[in-house]
Amino acid sequence: MSDKVQGPPTPKIHQQEFESADKSNPKLQAYHTPLLSADPSTNKDPSSVHPHSLKVNTDLPVASSQDLDQQKTPLSLVISSFENVQTLPTPMAYTPPALQPRSPIDQLHVTKRRDPNRARNLNASPVTQQRYLSELFPLPDSSGQRITSLPTVSEAATIDTSLDEDTVENEKPLLDIGEDILTGYLVDHYDEPLYWRKLNEIGTGNFSTVFCYESVDQTHPELRQVAVKRIKYPEELRGNKWDDSESKYTELLSRLESSLSRELSVLKSLNHPCVVKLFGINNPTFLQSGKPLKDLMSKNRGLPPCDMIMSYCAGGDLLTAAADCNGKIEMWLIQRIFAELTLAVKYLHESRVIHRDLKLENILLKYPLPVLIGMKNSPLFLQTNFIELADFGLCKRIEPGELSTARCGSEDYVSPEILMGVPYDGRLSDTWALGVILYGLLERRLPFDPPPNATARQRNRATAHRIARYDWKWYHWANTDSTAKEIVENTLARKTNRWMIDNIHESQFVKEAVTQFAF
């Protein structure tokens, strides 16, 4: 059904000059931040722009070049190969009007982040950027500040509201047994608290900091080590400084609440070996209430922490793992990882969930890469999954045939139709991102990076520009055959011809691996 929806013609994109943070170093390549726009009333908060973000003016459907001329930020210093990855893309961040003076344009920022050090806990400072998106329909003028995920009206979370007020009233007080001890409750077992001890920080994203915890009593083998994803609340909502009678805060709070509830409710409903598991939560209200933040705030005077207790992936994320070995991952392992990823996405799509943020950073390895490689000759090889797909902060439940409008995702992985702001089939945008991932693993660079040996002009061209023109090609694999190539060629393609997840699943490359799995 969605294929019948025609996108606009390929946009004309004007390339303009930008400022370089270090013009003296020819090795530094710029990642480009396209300026997109959806709501003419939207303005940008200059303080919200990540210092490493780069904006390049593009003539995409909604922003005039004159407006875009006014926007300049420092370069993102990125080397677009795994050898020297410094930052990689961050999801699009949308800045609602907030209290800023109104500007003639509205914007959707695609910001950069991704320092592989973040996953190695090398004092990576949490990035203050926020994820997200713009909507095709206008946001209320009162919607303030930069916020996490912005659910749309049509994307409201599916929450179990059956318990609501009573549950909240009768909830047991949390035990306070030291700041390194986490009290948590398993999903649907909210009467029995369990305890974990903090070990270390294992990752940080725009919306959360992730820690490794070990179980205090060690009774449940599966729960011995867990990842605890602690939600970072938007600065504006931290502490008790804000005035909850002000509509801009109320709006921000309800968007945050809706987004968080959606992520939790989807995660709670999923059960697949290749998808990260939500074991529990530090406070049952987050899973039980239809309005957890408001309920908890009224009791706590301020936002209480939200700690999601999840399955732990000791190998960290695939981007960092690939960077650690300069992207040199053997073909059998690429095939294995990609086949598992295909199973995960197939499961999601069959469960009517779209992920919308598929990328190397969100593919977690169950064990460190050398351990996985060592498992090749072990009996466990086919019996255990190697990856888990994580970060459901932008996911959405869809109805059959439903098109989405929220413009969200991460710069290098975003499909042309999302970029152009037309209603899109989220399943096809997910398979586009799968094509980007597989290309990245094969070529050790992302498909819409400036080409190797790029001219200055090519380097300056925005990623969005290349995406909108389907401008990618093979380099390492130009003269070599592989069954993997057909997947990339059929996913980094126009939506009318693009493969769905079942096509990928049926491809020789994936089928060969999947038919051997015993998990």
Catalytically annotated residues: 357
Q: By CB under 6 A, is residue 312 in contact with ligand ATP?
A: yes
Q: Is 203 in the site for ligand ATP (CB under 6 A)?
A: yes
Q: Is 316 in the site for ligand ATP (CB under 6 A)?
A: yes
Contact 329, 322 (CB under 8 A): yes
Q: Are 80 and 445 in contact (CB under 8 A)?
A: yes
**11, 66 contact by CB (below 8 A):** no
Decide if residue 428 touches ligand ATP (CB under 6 A): no
Among 48, 58, 73, 208, binds ligand ATP (CB under 6 A): 208
Nearer to ligand ATP, 307 or 361 (CB): 361
Restricted to residues 376-405, the positions that interact with ligand ATP (CB under 6 A) are 390-391, 393
Pick 102 or 197: Cβ nearer ligand ATP: 197
For residues 215 to 254, the per-residue mask of contacts with ligand ATP, x marking binding by CB under 6 A and - elsewhere, is: ------------x-x-------------------------
Measured from the CB atom, the residue of 280 and 450 that comes closer to ligand ATP is 280
Using the minimum distance from each CB to ligand ATP, give the nearer residue, 91 or 435: 91
Q: How far is the CB of 154 from ligand ATP (least distance, A)?
A: 22
206 lines the binding site for ligand ATP (CB under 6 A): yes
Token pair for 131: 């994820």
Q: Does 462 bind ligand ATP (CB under 6 A)?
A: no
The residue assigned the tokens 């609602």 is 96
Q: Shortest Cβ distance from residue 299 to ligand ATP (Å)?
A: 26
In the bound state with ligand ATP, the residue whose beta carbon lies nearer, of 210 and 446, is 210
For residue 500 the two structure tokens come to: 């769905």
**Cβ neighbourhood burial of 505 (10 Å; 0-12, 13-18, 19+):** middle
Tell me the C-alpha to C-alpha distance, in Å, between residue 82 and each of 85, 140, 328, 454, 477.
Answer: 5, 41, 9, 17, 17
Give the residue among 364, 189, 192 at the shortest CA–CA distance from 279.
Answer: 189
**Cα(334)–Cα(367) distance, integer angstroms:** 15
How many residues belong to the site for ligand ATP (CB under 6 A)?
26
d(CA 88, CA 468): 19
Q: Binding segment for ligand ATP among 332-340, 346-354, 361-369, 495-503 (CB under 6 A)?
A: 361-369
- Write out the binding residues for ligand ATP, residues 101-130 only, by CB under 6 A: 119
Question: Which letter does DSSP use for residue 404 in this model?
Answer: B
Residue 312, amino acid: Y
In terms of CB distance, is 146 or 461 closer to ligand ATP?
A: 146
317 near ligand ATP (CB under 6 A) = yes
Q: Is 210 in the site for ligand ATP (CB under 6 A)?
A: yes
Return d(Cα 283, Cα 70) in angstroms, integer: 46
- HEC string of 293-310 equals HHHHHHHHCCCCCCEEEE
Contact call for residue 408 and ligand ATP (CB under 6 A): no
Binding segment for ligand ATP (CB under 6 A), chosen from 51-59, 309-317, 325-333, 505-513, is 309-317
Which one among 36, 309, 313, 343 touches ligand ATP, defined by CB under 6 A?
313
Q: Which of 52, 55, 109, 131 binds ligand ATP (CB under 6 A)?
A: 131
Q: Could you tell me which residues come within 8 angstroms of residue 197 by beta carbon, excluding any fewer than 6 positions away?
A: 180, 181, 182, 213, 214, 215, 216
Bridge partners, 424 (sequence order): 404
Query: According to CB under 6 A, which one of 159, 276, 418, 462 is a site residue for ligand ATP?
Result: 276
Rounded CA gap, 42 and 63, in Å?
11
* HSE (side-chain half, CA atoms, 13 Å) at 141: 5
From candidates 185, 207, 347, 448, binder to ligand ATP by CB under 6 A? 207
Find the part of the chain contacting ligand ATP (CB under 6 A) among 133-141, 150-158, 304-312, 478-486. Answer: 304-312
Question: What is the number of residues in the chain?
Answer: 519
What is the per-residue binding string for ligand ATP in 65-104, x denoting contact by CB under 6 A? --------------------------x-------------
Q: Using an 8 Å Cβ cutoff, are 150 and 132 in contact?
A: yes
The answer to whether 101 touches 2, Cβ cutoff 8 Å, is no
Binding site, annotated residues for ATP:
229
How far apart (Å, rounded) are the C-alpha atoms in residues 250 and 237? 10
Tell me which residues touch ligand ATP (CB under 6 A). 91, 119, 131, 202-208, 210, 227, 229, 276, 310-313, 316-317, 361-362, 364, 390-391, 393
